[in-house]
Structure 1
C-alpha cells in the first residue's frame, strides 16, 4: 500500500478539544494540548488526511472547539455527540483512526476501544491527550495497549508516514515538529 493509499484510509479525530474542557487535564497542560492539537492538524492536512472534531454538549449546546483548531481550519468536520465514545461520529470512511483528546480515561479510551473492536487500526497520540490523573491515565493506556491499540506521539506518527524528504508534505512535517520543541 502506498502512502497515498494509507492517507486515503486514515482519519484524524480530535475528541472534546473544546474551550473550557481542556482544564480537566491534570497530566498535560492545556497550553501543550492546544499547541500539539494545532501541530497535528497541520501535519494531517499536509498528508491529506481527513480530520474531524467530535464534541459533547456542555450545556444546551456544545462548547466551542478550541481556537487553535478553529483558526487553523474553520471547515474542520464538527461532529456533535451524546455518547462518551466518539466512535459513532467518525463520519468518514476509513480503516485507520488517529485519536487525540480529553479525557484519556473516558472519551479517548472508549472511542479507541470501540474502533478496535470494529476492526479499525488505531493510534492514540498521547501528546494530544489529557487525563484526570497520571495513575488513571496510565491504567487507560495499558488497557488500550493490551488490545493492540498503538499509543505514540505526533513525532513518531508523522515521521513514520514520511517518504521522500524533499516532498512538500515532509517539509511541512519537519517545520511543524521543530516548532513543537
Structure 2
C-alpha cells in the first residue's frame, strides 16, 4: 500500500510539474508579445501600414517586381509632372524650403523633364483678383495647352487640367507645388482617387510651416503617395550619366539647392 501510495504521489508531482512548466512557457510567450506591443510606435505603425504594403517583397516567386513595389519605380515612359501654384506671389511665404531654393529646384526639374521629353502641366490660381503668374523659372515650359487657371483650391476640380493630364496617357504623376497643406495635398488625393500613382519630390514642395508639412507628408504617404527627390527620380529616368541625355541631367544636379 505504501509503495502504491508513493507511486501515486510521484506521478501527481510529475503532472503538476508539467503543468507548471507549460504555464511558464505560456507566460514567457505572452510577455514577449506584450513587450513588442509596448515598443514606442510599433503597434501604431503596424496598424497604420497601408494594406497594399503588407506581406509583400521586392520580388515575387517568379523574380518579377510585385505590383505593390512597382509604384516606386516611376518609369520614364509612364510619368508626367504637375506643377501647382508655383507663383511668385505665393512662394514668397515659403518657410520649410527657402523661396529661392524652391523656385530653383522647380526650374531644375522642368529642365530635366524637357531633356527627357516628359510632359508637364501647370495649374494656377488668381491672386488679388488677377490671374496667377508662374515663377520665372517655369515660364519657358508653359504654354496655352499645358497651363490653366482655376478658382477652387483642389486642382482636380479644374476640368481643363484633368483633361490635359488624361490626354498625356501617363499613369504616374509627379506633383510639385506650394503650399503642401493645400495645393500639393489636394492634388495628391485627387490624383490617387483618379487612379494615378503619385510621387512627391520633397525638394519641390514647400509650406509656411515645417510642422504642418510633416503631418501632410505623412497623410499623403498613408493615402499611397511616394515621397522622393529630384535626384532620385532623374537617376531612375536616365541612369547612364556618361552619355546624353544623362550627362546633361547630371549637370543639372549641380543647380539643385540644399533644402535642409
> TM above 0.5, one fold?
yes
Partner of 1:17: 86
C-alpha spacing 1:116/1:60, structure 2 compared with 1 (3 Å): same
State whether residues 132 and 149 of structure 2, in contact with CA within 8 Å, keep that contact through their aligned partners in structure 1: no
Matches of 2:142 and 2:189, distance apart in 1: 29
Partner of 2:130: 61
TM-score by length of 1: 0.89
Q: CA RMSD in A?
A: 2.0
> Structure 1 residue 119: deviation in Å?
1.4
State whether residues 104 and 255 of structure 2, in contact with CA within 8 Å, keep that contact through their aligned partners in structure 1: no
Question: What SS class does the counterpart of residue 180 from structure 1 fall into?
Answer: coil
Partner of 1:3: none
> Structure 1 residue 73: deviation in Å?
2.5
Does the alignment pair 1:86 with 2:155?
yes
Alignment partner of 1:125 out of 197, 201, 217: 201
Partner of 1:51: 120
Partner of 2:219: 143
Matches of 1:146 and 1:92, distance apart in 2: 23
Partner of 2:36: none
C-alpha spacing 1:147/1:57, structure 2 compared with 1 (3 Å): same
C-alpha spacing 1:96/1:27, structure 2 compared with 1 (3 Å): same
TM-score by length of 2: 0.63
C-alpha spacing 1:145/1:74, structure 2 compared with 1 (3 Å): closer
Question: What SS class does the counterpart of residue 123 from structure 1 fall into?
Answer: strand
Partner of 2:26: none
> Structure 1 residue 132: deviation in Å?
2.2
Partner of 1:40: 109
Deviations 1:43-85 (A, max 9, x none): 1111111111100011333231111111x43537211112212
Does the alignment pair 1:111 with 2:187?
yes
Which structure has the higher relative contact order (CA within 8 Å, separation 6+)?
1
The aligned length equals 177
Alignment partner of 1:101 out of 148, 155, 177: 177
Larger Rg: 2
Which one has a larger percent strand, Structure 1 or Structure 2? 1
Structure 1 unaligned residues grouped into runs of 5+: 1-5
